[in-house]
């Protein structure tokens, strides 16, 4: 037996739904058919991909690695079979938040002027690699250290951190803040795509508690509601203003590296031009 596209789609549905039953409903198949397809796939790859021994279905460690590879393969196939993309294939640039900060608009305008034949799509995807590891984009703007197999990263610039506090709270009255100022109360942590963790603080002065969120919108809402403070980068203050959130400089926090990443395989033909333009724009101020 050889692996076919239907095996990959079936596995991805199971992974996304965390349920064989829901995956079967989504695919319009019977539950036994989905189970047989998964079993055949596992036999072919020679390892268990899904742990069904618990009440909550989970992917095994091998299954999580295979999920990213399967998603990339399916995305590449769908992209190749889309007739509109064959005529004018867009270059998809992912980001989880704040994109390229102050360089975002200049990048988009220069690209449209200099490469009108290739649309540049800026896509926000709440994922540590902004959809790059799953094959949803061709390149991605990432912040902080990112470890993922098959990715190439290039440092574009370093970005200062800022504190984000409730606008009607006492910290908002200060001109600048320190990490110690924030540690006395809860700190909001974006556990999906953020770069702030308790390890940012020294071992003896870490926050009294943390509140986890999964995206920038929820992070802003929680800060505005007074559930805690947050730490982000300077471009967040510019690109994500909120009436209930005040941003203040945080000079004792180390800056964050801003990276442009792409996969080692299936590169978009216009990727070299994007890399060159990003380098040019970000290094003009260096």
How far apart are the C-alpha atoms of 98 and 148, rounded to whole Å? 21
Are the C-beta atoms of residues 70 and 12 closer than 8 Å to each other? yes
How far apart are the C-alpha atoms of 139 and 40, rounded to whole Å? 33
Mean pLDDT of 269-281: 94
For residue 248, what are the contacts with CB-CB under 8 A and spacing of at least 6? 162, 163, 165, 171, 172, 174, 175, 176, 177
Cα Rg of the chain (Å, integer): 22
Are the C-beta atoms of residues 151 and 264 closer than 8 Å to each other? yes
Burial class of residue 266 (count of CB atoms within 10 Å of its CB; 0-12, 13-18, 19+): middle
Q: β-strand 151-159 against 256-263: which pairing, if any?
A: antiparallel
Q: For residue range 216-248, what is the model confidence (pLDDT) as tens digits?
A: 999 999 999 999 999 999 999 999 999 999 999
What pLDDT shows up at residue 286?
54
Mean pLDDT of 132-151: 88
How far apart are the C-alpha atoms of 104 and 108, rounded to whole Å? 6
- pLDDT tier at 128 (50, 70, 90 boundaries)? confident
Instruction: Give the closest residue to 259 by CA, choosing from 195, 213, 175, 189.
Output: 195
- pLDDT tier at 86 (50, 70, 90 boundaries)? very low
Domains along the sequence of the chain with CATH? 5-81 (1.10.10.10), 83-158+257-283 (3.40.190.10), 161-254 (3.40.190.10)
Assign 225 to helix, strand or coil.
coil
Per-residue pLDDT at 155 exceeds 90: yes
Q: For residue range 157-213, what is the model confidence (pLDDT) as tens digits?
A: 999 999 999 999 999 999 999 999 999 999 999 988 889 999 999 998 999 999 999
What pLDDT shows up at residue 88?
65
Other Cβ atoms less than 10 A from the Cβ of 32: the count is 10
User: Any idea of the CA torsion for 81, 86, 91, 97, to the nearest 10 degrees?
Assistant: -40
What pLDDT shows up at residue 248?
98
Percent of the chain with pLDDT over 90: 66
- pLDDT tier at 82 (50, 70, 90 boundaries)? low
């Amino acid at each position: 037996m050889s692996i076919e596209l239907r095996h990959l789609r079936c596995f991805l549905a199971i992974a996304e739904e965390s349920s064989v039953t829901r995956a079967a409903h989504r695919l319009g198949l019977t539950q036994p058919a989905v189970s047989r397809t998964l079993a055949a796939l596992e036999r072919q790859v020679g390892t268990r991909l899904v742990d069904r021994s618990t009440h909550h279905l989970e992917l095994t460690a091998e299954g999580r690695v295979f999920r990213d590879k399967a998603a990339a393969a399916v995305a590449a196939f769908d992209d190749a079979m889309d007739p509109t993309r064959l005529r004018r294939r867009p270059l998809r640039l992912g980001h989880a938040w704040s994109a390229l900060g102050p360089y975002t608009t200049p990048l988009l305008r220069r690209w449209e002027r200099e490469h009108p034949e290739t649309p540049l799509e800026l896509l926000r995807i709440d994922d540590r690699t902004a959809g790059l590891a799953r094959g949803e984009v061709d390149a991605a703007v990432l912040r902080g250290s990112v470890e993922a197999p098959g990715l190439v990263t290039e440092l574009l610039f370093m970005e200062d951190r800022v504190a984000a506090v409730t606008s009607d709270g006492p910290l908002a009255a200060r001109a600048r803040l320190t990490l110690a100022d924030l540690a006395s109360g809860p700190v909001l942590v974006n556990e999906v795509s953020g770069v702030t963790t308790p390890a940012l603080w020294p071992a003896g002065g870490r926050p009294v508690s943390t509140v986890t969120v999964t995206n920038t919108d929820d992070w802003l809402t929680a800060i505005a509601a007074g559930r805690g403070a947050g730490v982000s980068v300077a471009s967040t203050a510019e690109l994500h203003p909120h009436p209930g959130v005040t941003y203040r400089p945080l000079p004792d926090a180390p800056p964050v590296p801003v990276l442009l990443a792409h996969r080692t395989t299936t590169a978009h033909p216009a990727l070299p031009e994007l890399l060159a333009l990003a380098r040019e724009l970000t290094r003009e101020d260096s």
